[in-house]
Amino acid sequence: MSGLEEVLHELESRFEVKRVRTPLSVIYEIPAVIKYFDRGPTLVFTRVKEDVCGVVAANLVNTRSKVMYYLGVGSDEELYRKILDSESKVGKITEVSSHDYKEIEVNLEKLPVLKYYEGDAGRYVTSAVVIAKDPETGYHNLSVHRILVLGRDVATLRIVPRHLYTICEHYRQRGITKVPVAVCIGVHPLLLFAASCSPPFGFSEYHVASNFMNADVRVCDLGNGVLVPIDSEYVLLGYIDLETLVDEGPFTDILELYDKVRKQPLLKVEKIYVLRDVPYYHAILPGGAEHKLLMALEREARIWNFVRAVVPYVKAVRLTWAGGCWLHAVISIRKITDGDAKNAIMAAFAAHPSLKHVIVVDEDIDIDNPEEVEWAIATRFRADRGLVLVQYVRGSTLDPSAIDQEQGLTTKMGIDATYPRAERRKFEKARIPINVRELIEKLEVY
């Protein structure tokens, strides 16, 4: 593992990195530039208008090619297998006694925390890896949570009913209402990706990160019993106060809509450590490409795994950008029988319950090209034989059109946009049988 400075040097050797030297504000200005370059170059904002500790980095995990580069994989199938394998085998975690951290003043308002959108409740940390130790098993959970800064040493975080919530309940059952945590900002992209995954409760995301990197994850205890990765740019030590609930939200979610206000526990920060004098603060644009990919890629792997159990060959899966990389999926398969596409649709819904619409296409369709997908729907889909409706089923609570958004109750739709096997020639797209790229490269154009 390495700090973000080393990661940025590595990215510069292969991808575009833009360093913005114009002083910009953490209020709207830096977010506006990140949004403009969404799915584009990695950004480093070297000058911030406000008096803050650190510089801002963004777009570290905003393209599929960057994630595949970090993981050392070259195809969709290798990517999916790497994710699934990393969630099932023990990695290498080494606790060390020495570290390079320097303690600074506890003042969250001095960190370069951004306010992204006008309807957001305030300045939000969006790349925070919250680490907690389960009091029953000693297992360390790493998960990504949005954090709303409320003052110098107080904040609040959104906790959904998953693993961190379960750990908090384990403390509550023991009569303990202050849950010790570490909040790490500016971690290695693969550790952030691991923290975005959902292995079974009790299997630490540290193992996932180690498997992603094919290396030891070195950790240390900075004083509250929670192990933290030694290369985090910022480490905030403190506790979640389960007895004190405050308003959290509104905040922009993955669908670029404002999530509602909820009562969430207070986060009390007692110490702040930094890795270097000018640390790198990783900002993730809510609803942007980084946010979507971190949420999507593990779910794509799960869909691929479920679908290949019912269809012999699955070429690729995409949770689409316009669907927030969450509600819409396109799946490319090679059919053996004409019922395979419908089985693939049902398997996808089972693999990722938040899915709302699924489109299944033949392997000749480029699922990264929305025009080709639409062409397949236009020419190969017929509603009376290819439409699948599943009514009154649990979906995503993010979907504002749900029948009951609180429970996520909705209607789901699958589209079989594959051609009947017996009529392949009738549905075959006309193609020119030469290598067009090679031809274009030879052209002399005046």
Burial class (CB in 10 A: 0-12, 13-18, 19+), 65: exposed
pLDDT value, residue 103: 96
Residue 152's pLDDT is what? 97
pLDDT score recorded for residue 97: 87
Assigned token pair, 20:
């913005």
- Report the pLDDT value the prediction gives residue 427, as an integer from 0 to 100: 87
| Domain with 339 in it | 309-427
Q: Are residues 361 and 254 in the same domain?
A: no
Catalytic choice (153, 231, 253, 340): 253
Q: Are residues 315 and 232 in the same domain?
A: no
DSSP tag of 109:
G
β strands within 222-349, DSSP E: 227-229, 234-248, 251-252, 258-259, 262-274, 280-282, 313-319, 328-334
* CA 344/CA 379 separation, integer angstroms: 20
Q: Are residues 253 and 344 in the same domain?
A: no
pLDDT band at 196 (very low <50, low <70, confident <90, very high): very high
Q: Which of the four pLDDT bands, split at 50, 70 and 90, describes residue 25?
A: very high
3-state secondary structure of 208: helix
Q: Please choose, from the candidates 289, 254, 255, the residue with its C-alpha nearest in 3D space to the C-alpha of residue 40.
A: 289
List all residues 6 or more positions away from 169 whose beta carbon is below 8 Å from its beta carbon.
none
Structural domain includes residue 297: no
> For residue 38, what are its two tokens?
């969404």
State mean pLDDT over 9-36: 96
Same domain, 279 and 336: no
DSSP state of 365: S
Whether residue 1 is predicted with pLDDT greater than 60 in this model: the reply is: no
345 part of a folded domain: yes
Q: Quick one: which of 3, 25, 7 has its CA closest to 15?
A: 7
**Contact of 315 with 363, CB cutoff 8 Å:** yes
> Would 444 be classed as within a structural domain?
no
Residue where the block lists tokens 């205890």? 221
What is the total count of domains within the chain?
Answer: 2
Question: Residue 352 in contact with residue 297, Cβ under 8 Å?
Answer: no
Q: Are residues 206 and 129 in the same domain?
A: yes
User: Over 80: is that where the pLDDT of 393 sits?
Assistant: yes
Which amino acid is it at 38? D
| pLDDT, mean over the chain | 95
334 with 367, same domain: the answer is yes
| pLDDT score of 343 | 97
What is the chain's alpha carbon radius of gyration, rounded to the nearest angstrom? 23
Q: What percent of the chain has pLDDT over 70?
A: 100
How do 409-417 and 357-362 pair as beta strands?
parallel
pLDDT value at position 244? 97
Provide the pLDDT confidence category of residue 79 given band limits of 50, 70 and 90: very high
pLDDT at 2: 64
Same domain, 335 and 280: no
Residue 190 lies in a domain: yes
Q: What is the Cα–Cα distance from 120 to 302, expressed in whole angstroms?
A: 32
Are 267 and 344 part of one and the same domain? no
Q: What is the largest CA-CA distance in the chain?
A: 79
pLDDT of residue 407: 87
Q: What is the pLDDT of residues 277-294, one digit of tens each?
A: 999 999 999 999 999 999
- Taking the C-alpha atoms of residue 87 and residue 104, their distance in angstroms, rounded to an integer, is 35
Residue 160 shares a structural domain with residue 57: yes
Asked whether residue 57 falls in the same domain as residue 161, the answer is yes
pLDDT of 444 above 80 = yes
**CATH number, domain at 193?**
2.30.110.10
Predicted pLDDT of residue 423:
84
Query: Is 442 within a domain?
Result: no
277 as an active site residue: the answer is no
Same structural domain, 335 and 270: no
Which distant-in-sequence residues (6+ apart) come within 8 Å of 161 by Cβ?
A: none
